[in-house]
Amino acid sequence: MKAAVIVFPGSNCDRDVAVSLKDAMGCDADMVWHGDAEIPKTDLIVLPGGFSYGDYLRCGAMAAQSPIMKDVVTKANSGVPVLGICNGFQLLTEAGLLPGAMLRNANLKYLCKDVHLRVERNDTIFSRHYTQGDVIKIPIAHHDGNFFADAKTLAQLEDRNLIAFRYCDSGGKITDEANPNGSANNIAGIYNENGTILGLMPHPERLADIQLGGVDGKTMFSSLVETLH
């Protein structure tokens, strides 16, 4: 399996996710500069976390106009899986590959902590090694992770079962108290219609090694490798 990690000026989780991918795949990921026109042939595109272009204007807005994004959109539309983590999720919404938008956290604070997530589906390439309803612990680190979509879009996401993960308490209950940033319906991550694009605010690559205190994130990478190898 081959994976490509897109590197923007201001990305800061690109190497972390490359380490997680290497650990799961057994080979190096291609690091692709945002100014390139084309991504080498790949089975997976990763848009990493960070602060692309300093989050100027809006998170992900500048990066969505980067030269490489044309090829990301073309490949995504032709079915190449795309994983957007944190800034990568913001970027996917700005590029129109996923619906909705991210607002400033409801409490206005930058949040950096472990949160519990409920796995809403385990029938996708990203989630097959999880069990549906699993409660996993993954860190968040963002200022603008308050997922917003209009009522119609939210209803579509719910009706079509496109919610990937929701913020929950340690027992798996979806409550307001367990919602760290004010996201609509406690949404932490969503899929596109075909389940080939996943955007999520939490950072699976930050809990993908026992030395980091947990491996709940590693399961996502092993799921991908098993499907895409």
Partner 1 sequence: MKALVKVTLKNGVLDPQGKAIHQALGSLGFDGIDQVRQGKLIEIDLNENDEAKAHAQVEKMCEKLLANMVIENYSIELEAS
Query: Which residues are marked as active site?
Result: 86, 203, 205
**Of 199-218, which residues contact partner 1 (CB under 8 A)?**
none
Q: What is the DSSP letter of 50?
A: B
**Of 178-197, which residues contact partner 1 (CB under 8 A)?**
182
| 93 part of the interface to partner 1, by CB under 8 A | yes
Name which position in 31, 103, 135, 215 contacts partner 1 (CB under 8 A).
103
Shortest spacing between CB 125 and partner 1, in angstroms: 26
Computed from CA positions of residues 20, 21, 23, 24, in that sequence, does the dihedral angle turn out positive or negative?
Answer: positive
For the chain, what is the radius of gyration of the CA atoms? 16
Shortest spacing between CB 65 and partner 1, in angstroms: 6
Q: Are 166 and 117 in contact (CB under 8 A)?
A: yes
| 99 part of the interface to partner 1, by CB under 8 A | yes
CA gap 70, 81 in Å, rounded: 15
CA within 13 Å, CB half, 94 = 24
Amino acid at 214: G
Stretch touching partner 1 by CB under 8 A, among 7-15, 95-103, 160-168, 200-208: 95-103
- Which residue, 87, 99, 32, 84, is CA-closest to 61? 87
**Nearest to partner 1 of 4, 62 (CB atom):** 62
State the residues that interact with partner 1 by CB under 8 A: 57-58, 61, 65, 93-94, 99-101, 103-108, 146, 148-150, 182
